[in-house]
């Protein structure tokens, strides 16, 4: 298995964070088809543990080699260690300083502890599904296949990360959706036949949640990426929902929005804004590793522009539901303050949904109302 060292060295030396690590590894495995499933799992564990904790590791000088840092990372992240790979090395006597994992001076939102968040970076969160129908059938299949699960709520299940459910469960009976993301639905409170607009719809996670909860809602969605909207429409077909009105536009561009919507108004608007994703970095630790704090100002400006722009299309009494998967104040409370100042909307409620204790993501949600 010594060839593993050549591969992991190449991966670490050549990966620069410009694409998701999962995509980089997938392409690398395609280029190296001789790597078997066990090899890929070992390399994945090595790579992910490196980006999770390497910056915080301290080893004695005589042990501070690439190989022993890899070993220490696996130990720190509680991942399997294959003894044959480390037969030529002494087990590292490492120390892990969590504060070195994220040294940037960034304010966190109220409701999350910085040290707790840093600790959560060491382990992959769980897989969560939202059950849409056939609950008994899903439970029966998972039990028969001996896939462990835990109910987080009536329709939210926690499963081991990587559980192979896509070929087992009826595809229209569940949605893969993080537990904290599912909780944002508690803030929708839609009324029958209301007109809703999801202005940064992406692949449609929040839109599908809304339609599952309130089928009568008349929904319009938009995104600036045509391929993403195609994906959303495919998912709506899978889940047997009436297709939403799809608009290809950039909500950050006030002029384009005016051309798209004219004098149209909506009862409520979901603004699941593009963000740093810091509330999900335990799933994507490479984003923690390569984070540039200067990007926060760009995110803040874009988020503020989107939320303020779409607020113009709210009916009086309508609500703007602002959502991020960030734990940073600059993307959350600071954006809400900016939007209130710009638009005159009134803050009704806000919360940082902290999913760390159940191995879920963290989300921020704020409900603003137009008087």
pTM of the model: 0.94
**pLDDT for residue 291 is more than 90:** yes
- CATH 3.30.70 residue window(s) in the chain: 127-176
The model's pLDDT over 114-145, given as tens digits with 9 standing for 90+, comes to 999 999 999 999 999 999 999 999 999 999 99
pLDDT of residue 1: 74
pLDDT category, 235, cuts 50, 70, 90?
very high
pLDDT of residue 333: 98
* Interatomic CA distance for residues 270 and 273, integer angstroms: 9
Query: What sign has the CA pseudo-torsion 288, 8, 119, 355?
Result: positive
pLDDT of residue 290: 97
The model's pLDDT over 317-337, given as tens digits with 9 standing for 90+, comes to 999 999 999 999 999 999 999
- CATH 3.40.50.150 residue window(s) in the chain: 179-369
pLDDT of residue 18: 95
pLDDT category, 217, cuts 50, 70, 90?
very high
**pLDDT for residue 238 is more than 90:** yes
Backbone phi and psi for residue 272, each to the nearest 5 degrees, phi listed first: -90, 85
Task: For the domain made up of 127-176, give the CATH fold.
Answer: Alpha-Beta Plaits (3.30.70)
Q: Using a pLDDT cut of 70, give the percent of the chain over it.
A: 100
Provide the 10 A C-beta neighbour count for residue 316.
8
Q: How does the average pLDDT of the chain come out, rounded?
A: 96
Pairing type for strands 174-176 and 127-131 reads: antiparallel
pLDDT category, 2, cuts 50, 70, 90?
confident
pLDDT of residue 342: 97
CA nearest 266: which of 343, 187, 350, 190? Answer: 190
Specify the CATH number of the domain 179-369: 3.40.50.150
- Per-residue pLDDT, averaged over 165-172, amounts to 96
**pLDDT for residue 271 is more than 80:** yes
The model's pLDDT over 49-91, given as tens digits with 9 standing for 90+, comes to 999 999 999 999 999 999 999 999 999 999 999 989 999 898 9
pLDDT of residue 35: 96
The encoded tokens of residue 252 equal 């950050």
Lowest mean pLDDT among 15-29, 77-91, 119-133, 346-360: 77-91
**pLDDT for residue 182 is more than 80:** yes
């Amino acid at each position: 298995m010594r060839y593993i060292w050549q591969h992991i060295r190449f991966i670490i030396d050549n990966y620069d964070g410009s694409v998701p690590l999962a995509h980089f590894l997938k392409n690398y495995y395609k280029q190296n088809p001789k790597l078997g499933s066990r090899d890929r799992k070992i390399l994945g564990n090595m790579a992910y543990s490196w980006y999770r904790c390497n910056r915080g590791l301290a080893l004695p000088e005589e042990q501070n080699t690439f190989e022993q840092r890899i070993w220490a990372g696996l130990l720190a992240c509680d991942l399997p260690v294959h003894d044959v790979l480390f037969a030529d090395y002494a087990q590292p006597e490492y120390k892990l300083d969590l504060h070195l994992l994220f040294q940037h001076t960034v304010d966190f939102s109220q409701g999350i502890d910085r040290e707790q968040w840093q600790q959560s970076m060491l382990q992959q969160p769980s897989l969560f599904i939202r059950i849409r129908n056939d609950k008994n059938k899903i439970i029966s299949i998972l039990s028969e296949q001996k896939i462990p699960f835990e109910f987080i709520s009536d329709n939210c299940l926690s499963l081991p990360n990587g559980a192979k459910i896509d070929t087992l469960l009826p595809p229209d009976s569940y949605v893969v959706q993080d537990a904290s993301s599912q909780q944002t639905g508690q803030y929708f409170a839609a009324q029958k036949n209301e007109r809703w607009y999801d202005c940064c719809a992406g692949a449609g996670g929040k839109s599908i949640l809304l339609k599952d909860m309130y089928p009568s809602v008349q929904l319009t969605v938009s995104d600036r990426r045509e391929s993403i909207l195609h994906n959303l429409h495919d998912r709506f077909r899978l889940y047997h929902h009436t297709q939403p009105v799809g608009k290809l536009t950039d909500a950050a561009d006030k002029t384009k929005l005016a051309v798209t919507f004219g004098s149209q108004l909506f009862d409520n608007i979901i603004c699941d804004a593009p963000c740093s994703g810091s509330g999900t970095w335990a799933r994507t630790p490479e984003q923690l590793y390569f984070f540039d704090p200067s990007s926060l100002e760009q995110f803040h400006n874009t988020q503020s522009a989107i939320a303020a722009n779409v607020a113009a299309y709210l009916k009086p009494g309508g609500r703007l539901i602002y959502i991020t998967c960030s734990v940073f104040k600059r993307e959350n409370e600071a954006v809400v303050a900016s939007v209130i100042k710009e638009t005159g909307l009134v803050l009704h409620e806000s919360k940082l949904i902290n999913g760390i204790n159940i191995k879920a993501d963290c989300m921020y949600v704020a409900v603003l109302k137009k008087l």
